[in-house]
Amino acid sequence: YCSLFPEDYLFKRKQLVRLWIAEGFIEERGESTLEEVAEGYLKELIDRNMLQLVERNGFGRMKKFRMHDILRELAVDLCHKNCFGVTREANCGGYVEMDGRRLVLHKLNKDIQQSFSSIHRLRTIVTLDNNMPSFTLLLLLCKESRYMTVLELRGLPIKTIPEAIGDLFNLRHLGLRNSKVKMLLRSIEKLSNLLTLDLFASGIHDLPSGIVKLKKLRHLFVEKVIDPYWKGFQCSSGMYIPNGLGKLTNLQTLQALEAQDDSLRHLGELRQLRSLRLLNVKQMHCGRIGESLLQMRCLSNLYVNASDENEVLLLNVLLPSLQKLSLRGRLAEGALDESPLFQAVGGQNLYSLILFWSQLREDPLPSLSQLSNLTSLQFTRAYNGEQLTFLMGWFPKLKILYLTDLPNLNRLEIQQGAMASLEKLFLVNLNNMTEVPPGIEFLIPLKYLALYEITSDFLTLLRQCSAIRGTRWAYSLRD
């Protein structure tokens, strides 16, 4: 399957896992989910050097990888011999012999819809060329390839999808990410076998009411990015799920849901959720959200965005499986000490913590230092105080630290033995910082230092600092 993609193609773990599951390659094993079994296969392929690991995420999981060239050549040959699948590129002339059931389109010419033979045999089509003329081809696929299983059409310039897409009763994966499609037709409710619906950053603003009939759906992506630089408070928008959200009991990923009383009332019924993004949350919603989160025993990734910068996020819940937490909104004074989310017991598995616009007045580090397994920590407009001090022994596993837009911060101190594993440090738009952080020389493992939107005077101090010699660093000056 991997060999159908271009040479040196950079695979992403989650995307490939969803495709494998849709293809039917993965079977449940014991109490493991399909996703967990698929990740086990990936790990085995990497351990055997059949796939080459390129990048891990902040807490060590596989993130990106490539296929070895020689193995790919062997696999391509097997694909053709076994009618497993074919690829198509711009320099391929004539017809594509559709003996294979899977087609990955790399880069194409304009007459692609006229160059297929035996298209009715197709079960999978994945497009990698954003300029492909696509509506005619899509209409042809809907009419001729009735047993289609995977349609991955991300980035295509299509504005509509055919009504006939509802006739693809076997479709398990529909990817329209970054496309220009503006409306999801009502016929989508007939896709009763659909496992993944990816509408991230598409032109679609509303979901049809029949979306709740897709009871096998495992992954739903409906978020739109408003501010790609994530500088403002409201940087993305989600969608409202019509009445019946509680019917989608197989959902593992929901990104992103606009908070609304009707939807939140049934949120707790989604007990299989692993990843949840909630937007436009008001303080009055927090009690019900907290009750719902308690039902999600497997939740590992949570993002909550308040409706405005003055709404207080109050989530006093214990989520022992949580690994990644992002809160965008004001936190009540004492929240870091009182909420189980930030305690050693409740946050024992927490690897990544991102706080935006928290408006904290007290130093958050003493409270958060209990989270000894953190590998990534980010403060953006989260702290209004003047000083941050990392004490000896704090954050022993932290690898990445972001401090961004902290207008009052004038001193950052690092004691010997603090952040003993730190590899990357980002200091961005810290207006009042007038000295290189004392103790930065103690960050022995530091590989990369980024200082953005600094003054020319601060740059002069940096160049004179012997502590960062030998460390790769980058900077940008303030306008």
What pLDDT, in 10s, does the model give residues 44-54?
999 999 999 99
- Residue 43 is assigned to a structural domain of this protein: yes
What percentage of the chain reaches a pLDDT higher than 90?
Answer: 68
> Tens of pLDDT along 219-277?
999 999 998 888 889 999 999 987 899 999 999 999 999 999 888 999 999 999 999 99
- Residue 261 is assigned to a structural domain of this protein: no
- Residue 467 is assigned to a structural domain of this protein: no
- Residue 193 is assigned to a structural domain of this protein: no
Q: Which residues of 22-32 are buried (b: 16+ CB within 10 A; e: fewer)?
A: bbeebeeeeee
> Tens of pLDDT along 267-311?
999 999 999 999 999 999 999 999 999 999 999 999 999 999 999
- Residue 250 is assigned to a structural domain of this protein: no
Question: What CATH number is associated with residue 38?
Answer: 1.10.10
- Residue 314 is assigned to a structural domain of this protein: no
Total domains present in the chain: 1
Question: Is residue 113's pLDDT more than 80?
Answer: no
- Residue 106 is assigned to a structural domain of this protein: no
Question: Is residue 94's pLDDT more than 50?
Answer: no
The larger pLDDT score, comparing residue 428 to residue 478, is at 428
Can you give the pLDDT at residue 221?
A: 97
Can you give the pLDDT at residue 48?
A: 93
Yes or no: say if 194 and 172 are a contact pair by the CB < 8 Å rule. Answer: yes
Among 28-32, 144-148, 339-343, 464-468, the minimum mean pLDDT is found in 464-468
| pLDDT averaged over every residue in the chain | 90
> Tens of pLDDT along 326-365?
999 999 988 999 999 998 766 789 999 999 999 999 999 9
Report how many helices (DSSP H) and strands (DSSP E) the chain contains, helices first. 9, 28
- Measured CA to CA, the distance from residue 293 to residue 237 in angstroms comes to 21
- Residue 444 is assigned to a structural domain of this protein: no
Domain residues for 62? 2-67
